[in-house]
Structure 1
Amino acid sequence: MKQYKFLQTIFLTGALLAACQKGEIPNLNTPVAGSTDSKEEIDNLVTGLESSMRFTLNTYFDAVSILGREIYRFSSSEPRYVTELMGQGELNNNTFYITNPWTSRYRAVRQGNTILDAAANASFLTEEQKKGYSGFVKTIMAHQLLMNLTLTHSNGIRTDVKNLSQLGPIKPAAEALADIAALLDEGKADLTGSAIDFPLSDGFANFKTPAGLLRFNRALAARVAVYRQQWAAALTALNESFFDLNGPFSTGIYHVFSNASGDQLNNLFLPRNNTGESRLAHPSYATDITAGDDRIGKAALRTDAVTLNGLTSNRDVWIYTTNTSPIAIIRNEELILIYAEAKINLNQFPDAVVAINRIRTGHNLPVYVGAISQAALITEMLRQRRYSLFAEGHRWVDMRRYGRLAELPNTRPNDKVWENFPIPLTESN
């Protein structure tokens, strides 16, 4: 039927991803999803799943960062970065900034369903091994669904896409979030008592065991819990995650890249002072930052400012400094801020201030001396999230969650900040 054609195309494409790999993974070439008569073939599908998570990340992060007024994206070949995404006209439901990331995320979900079926039906796997595959895959599928829901928000997503001939309905945001939380809980249950006997990239360094992947799962569960305003549940999930109030901010799980033949490079990397194609910090990032804050290094000064279509910036986004720099999926700095957010909303202000000060002093700032009230601390928490998680896909979501999209700056008078992306045309027919 016509209404299923788009996702069917996604899923069938996902079954045709390229090249095999065994053992430790030097790169994340995506394997062919053929028969699964051996453990090696299922392992190759897992490698493919991890690889597919990296597809079109540049489009996703550019889009949400532009809408969140974190960056400008100047492109000599694509004017829609500075027109439609900046709020001129209307968002198009049949163009690259929604169709490409939407397709990529559902491709990964389809790959996950293929692995779940293959592992469940594999007589050569132990029950513990089956649980390992299932727990890992459900965790990844939940993450991919959450990324698509981040884009469309109140327009909803499909969470049940296993049966190609009878896809589940498009669900509103609250129901979709509940389904994602339930999928993470299923992943947690499966990882408990499992055996992880398949290769993962170094993006999962220190998390390649059942206990490690369970901590990853619970970190994502904490993110979902705050999106659902379930503050106590967020703290419970944090306690089971890799959250460490005094630990390194960078500890976490990452997408990794390499220049090995056939592997992917980090397509969010652009050289300093690039022309033609530029990823630029929104001017407000530097003008609003507190003097001495070391996070100014994420917005490096250019030799010359650049202007396009009435927008100007003199700072490059400088988070990924090489074309093989890793991209965070979730890391401890976000977990500390989730802890602060949950504590604030539970009116446990002393604990929240401790967490906020951990972030502030960790970035060369003095301790917080502002008002101790829920409203004041929410504003401070959102400020720290703005700078700690700059261009990592959170600012637009955070301001939307707190009803503050109107506070985001518009340099040009006719621009507007979008609340969500439309469902892709072929999906909504």
Structure 2
Amino acid sequence: MKSIHKKINTLFVVAIALSLALTSCSFDEQVDPNRPSLEGVLTGASVNQLNNLVVGVEATMRNGLGIQTTGSGTMARELYLFDADPRNTGDLLGADGATLDNNSFYSTAPWAGRYRAIKNANILLESVANTDAITDAQRSGYSGFAKTIIAHELIDVLKSYGRARIDVSDPDNLGPILEFDAALTAIRSLLDEALTDLNAAGGDFAFDLGGFAGFDSPSTFVEFNRAIAAVAALYASDFSGTMTALNASFLDLNGELTVGPKHVFSLGAGDITNDLFKITDNNGDQIIVHNSWINDAEAGDTRVTNKTSVRANATTQDGLTGSNQTELYETNVSPIDIIRNEELILIYAEAKIGMGSATDLTDAASALNVIRNAAGLGDTAAATAEDLTTEMLNQRRYSLWAENHRMFDLRRYNLSNTLPIDRAGDQIFNVFPTPLTENE
């Protein structure tokens, strides 16, 4: 195990160096063996170069993740980020009539992070198409991986921004920014292309993955691909399509809730740590739980005590007060879930509610009871589609707290206006502004 982690950490360092080379505006003719040129990767790449690109893709999936999560979480009244930047408690809550800035860190960093990973994945796609160093089956494996990651990142863009630029393979000829429905259709098509590639990839990948333990072969990575396809189908209100994708995913109604691929971190040179980890009772940089999340919880819900803790002393900043803080991550190298079985069970319940037959609603209630029982709660009394929808959204609220879901869940159900107003003059926002540099 130690040797595997050492190898992954080393690859992350190499990948970061490669990523820096790939993002440079110009390239010297001199060849640096430690930092390969873009041209050297795009044409005739070796297996080692391709594998470094894979690690670079996985590494850059983490870029801007903390800002995206705390930004959406603040707007959805899940949390406050108490730190030195007043925009976290001002702009994001619409203090005194403020509007969101399309050129501020909370609007630019998530977009840049997602598209950095997409850029690296597109470079990988071009590289595997222009090398003779791999077999056709291996080529399919690289392509299926890259397309699946692109689709995942684009879904994250849609959740935060409500629109996305899909065609970015040629930086000199970018495609248009598409609105939600059109973008989602393109993403679903890309996931199906990736599935075809993965099914043609044979028994093993030619590369290692850091955070995909248990999903690191073509046949098991397909389960991740179909999990993301289920998310996309659900967001398109295609409930039968959701169920079809779930049936090919790693959904297990009787399985461990925590199973699933993860973003991994380390203290290795050149790598990064989990910036959603906060030191208990820290006063200068802390994620404070929104009081409504504590007050609205059912008595005995273990997610409250497992994910948060009561501070030794309540803290106040910018007219906002909280007595609870995050305990979501144990250390600064704790992994962050990309998607896990718990979310898939909730997706299953939502799709069953959407399908709407009496049997479907019973299935939905049973799935929600799996989540409730795991949190120390008894079975739900909800039986109608309306009541089960309320129950489902509540279980998503507590199971997926501070994981970049709540803002979008409220927006897609037209419930953003039900959020509490923390201070007189505050406003409700439910979508990040498209960055100024992307305006067409």
TM over 0.5: yes
CA distance in 1, matches of 2:317, 2:147: 43
Letter of the 1:268 counterpart = L
Letter of the 1:143 counterpart = H
Which runs of structure 2 are paired with 1:26-425 in the superposition (5 Å)?
Answer: 26=9, 28-29=12-13, 30-32=16-18, 33=22, 34=37, 35-36=40-41, 37-76=45-84, 78-88=85-95, 89-153=98-162, 156-195=163-202, 196-201=205-210, 203-297=211-305, 298-347=307-356, 348-370=360-382, 372-425=383-436
Tell me the SS of whatever aligns to 1:85: helix
1:24–1:199 Cα contact (<8 Å) kept: no
CA distance in 1, matches of 2:159, 2:271: 27
Tell me the SS of whatever aligns to 1:410: coil
2:408–2:430 Cα contact (<8 Å) kept: no
Determine the structure 2 residue equivalent to 1:11.
Answer: none
Determine the structure 2 residue equivalent to 1:6.
Answer: none
Tell me the SS of whatever aligns to 1:265: coil
Shift in Å at residue 31 of structure 1? Answer: 4.1
Letter of the 1:294 counterpart = T
Tell me the SS of whatever aligns to 1:252: coil
Determine the structure 2 residue equivalent to 1:8.
Answer: none
CA distance in 2, matches of 1:207, 1:46: 15
CA distance in 2, matches of 1:24, 1:221: 31
Tell me the SS of whatever aligns to 1:415: coil
1:229-262 deviation digits (Å, cap 9, x = unpaired): 1111011000000000010000001000111222
Q: How has the CA–CA distance of structure 1 residues 293 and 428 changed in structure 2, closer, same or farther, with 3 Å as cutoff? A: same
Determine the structure 1 residue equivalent to 2:25.
Answer: none
Letter of the 1:98 counterpart = S
CA distance in 2, matches of 1:368, 1:149: 32
Tell me the SS of whatever aligns to 1:107: helix
TM-score by length of 2: 0.90
1:66-92 deviation digits (Å, cap 9, x = unpaired): 11111101112x000111101221000
Letter of the 2:400 counterpart = L
Q: How has the CA–CA distance of structure 1 residues 414 and 106 changed in structure 2, closer, same or farther, with 3 Å as cutoff? A: same
Shift in Å at residue 216 of structure 1? Answer: 0.3
CA distance in 2, matches of 1:276, 1:346: 48
Letter of the 1:147 counterpart = D
CA distance in 2, matches of 1:246, 1:238: 14
Tell me the SS of whatever aligns to 2:171: coil
2:349–2:363 Cα contact (<8 Å) kept: yes
Tell me the matched-pair count. 404
Shift in Å at residue 193 of structure 1? Answer: 2.4
TM-score by length of 1: 0.92
CA distance in 1, matches of 2:422, 2:102: 25
CA RMSD of aligned residues (A): 1.4
Aligned-pair identity (%): 43
Shift in Å at residue 24 of structure 1? Answer: 3.9
CA distance in 1, matches of 2:176, 2:268: 41
1:164-200 deviation digits (Å, cap 9, x = unpaired): 2211011111101111111111111110020411011
Shift in Å at residue 22 of structure 1? Answer: 12
CA distance in 2, matches of 1:349, 1:125: 49
CA distance in 1, matches of 2:301, 2:225: 31
Letter of the 1:126 counterpart = T
Shift in Å at residue 336 of structure 1? Answer: 0.2
The answer for unaligned runs of 5 or more in structure 2 is: 23-36
